[in-house]
Amino acid sequence: MEDELRFPHSNAFIDLDADGNADILVTGKKAFHLWQDVGDKQVEHFRKHKSVTYPQCRNTSSCSVVGQSVFADFNLDGHLDMAFPACASLDCGKEGEEEPTIFMGPLKQLWNGEVFDKVKVIAEGWKFHVDADSSDRSTLYSSKGNVYFGLTPRAGDINLDGYPDLLIRMESKETGKAQMQVLLNVPDSSSKMGRAFLLQPEIMEGIENSTLAVFYDLYENGMEDILMVRETGEGKQFEIGAFTNKTKDSDAYFAKVIVLSGVCYHDCSGGNISVPYGTNLPGQTICYRTQRPIEETFTEIRACATQLPQTAHHSLQLPYTIFGLGMAPNFLDVMYVNVTDASSHSKGRAWPQVRLKERRSTMYILFF
Ligand SMILES: [Ca+2]
Ligand SMILES: [Ca+2]
Ligand SMILES: [Ca+2]
């Protein structure tokens, strides 16, 4: 398929076929293009797998606006998923004829070339905000000079239940004002993924004109806080602010994992200086399996996450992964990490019976 690169793009370095090696997802104007890491440096390292055209927003027409992708295990089934917002028209349903739409599905589904399903976004009176004045499909370009114009969701578990929630810019249909909002990942038996997103307007009440927000662990305690940029006055005046996560779920455990390459970023010769512990490895997959109590028994929970998968426009991802374990016991049955290797085989490693000494534990994993 002939295609041009989308701007802003949403390209990603992520294991699409679950073989342990990170593949490449390229976003064009018409479709997602999937490139497989075949690991053969001599002949070809990446081979084109297939292209998957963007879905239809209404029954007859394809989506005019396709937002950026975000990768997480949204339904905690141990398989990585992808989600992206989309709109039938540039005004994203201002007249109320269309609800905010998020397409979501397992990466396996994308790999097989199947179109994602819509998941419900329960956000009465709100729509996605697209600060663009171009009608060129999938190209969100604004001449208003606002650098934060993209339709970009970011994932993080704000309420510590393990299910990744979203931060995304939305607009009140009543006032026309746009601000960042939190969409909570909630159960929904009517959707194939079993999940829906529920707007939490009270969290951001009174925080108007916010143009960008990201999850960030300000206190290094495993709880995801929020950093936010607000527009102040006309033009390009911005200020940065922070929200502290006050979720009081004291029995919730966390695992914070960072996968490092072991490659020094400056002098590693030792001596009197402290030796740096390495640099972030992008595109790696981290998974765990554990038991979570339900009524009188336990249920098995599996989840996966990927570290720094995107170079996308303002993707602003954390260099580590935080797994919210909810009301779980203080151990993981197993944690496993897959690291892309130049050979055809990925480097995988598993740690059985990971015991979390404190409520919030950080694990540094070094691959050489
Ligand atoms: Ca792969
Ligand atoms: Ca999943
Ligand atoms: Ca959550």
pLDDT at position 194 over 80: yes
Name, in order, each residue with C-beta under 8 angstroms of 125's C-beta and a sequence gap of 6 or more.
172, 173, 174
Which ligand ends up closest to the CA of 302?
Answer: 2
Span from the CA of 92 to the centroid of ligand 2 (angstroms): 27
Average pLDDT, the chain: 84
The mean pLDDT of 145-168, rounded to a whole number, is: 84
Higher pLDDT, 95 or 296: 296
> Of 39-53, 201-215, 272-286, which has the strongest mean pLDDT?
201-215
Measure Cα distances from 60 to 31, 65, 92, 111, 157 in Å.
17, 15, 16, 24, 35
The mean pLDDT of 158-182, rounded to a whole number, is: 92
Span from the CA of 112 to the centroid of ligand 3 (angstroms): 28
Span from the CA of 198 to the centroid of ligand 3 (angstroms): 11
Span from the CA of 347 to the centroid of ligand 1 (angstroms): 12
- Say what the pLDDT of residue 274 is: 55
> Of 13-22, 88-97, 244-253, which has the strongest mean pLDDT?
13-22
Q: Which residues surround ligand 3, an ion (CB under 5 A)?
A: 157, 159, 161, 163, 165, 185
Cα–Cα distance, 14 to 93 (Å, whole number) = 32
pLDDT at position 145 over 70: no
Cα–Cα distance, 248 to 110 (Å, whole number) = 37
- Say what the pLDDT of residue 276 is: 58
pLDDT at position 17 over 80: yes
Span from the CA of 83 to the centroid of ligand 2 (angstroms): 11
The mean pLDDT of 238-256, rounded to a whole number, is: 80
pLDDT at position 147 over 70: no
Which ligand ends up closest to the CA of 106?
Answer: 2
Span from the CA of 77 to the centroid of ligand 2 (angstroms): 5
pLDDT at position 251 over 50: yes
Task: Respond yes or no on whether the N-terminal peptide bond of residue 309 is cis (omega within 30° of 0).
Answer: no
- Say what the pLDDT of residue 137 is: 47
Q: Give the global pTM.
A: 0.90
Which ligand ends up closest to the CA of 108?
Answer: 2
Span from the CA of 271 to the centroid of ligand 2 (angstroms): 46
Span from the CA of 209 to the centroid of ligand 1 (angstroms): 40
pLDDT at position 59 over 70: no
Which ligand ends up closest to the CA of 25?
Answer: 1
Percent of the chain with pLDDT over 70: 82
The mean pLDDT of 342-365, rounded to a whole number, is: 73
Instruction: Identify whether the C-beta of residue 86 lies closer than 8 Å to the C-beta of residue 66.
Output: yes
Q: How confident is the model at residue 297 (pLDDT cuts 50, 70, 90)?
A: confident
Which ligand ends up closest to the CA of 303?
Answer: 2
Span from the CA of 138 to the centroid of ligand 2 (angstroms): 26
Q: Which amino acid is at 319?
A: P
Q: How confident is the model at residue 231 (pLDDT cuts 50, 70, 90)?
A: confident
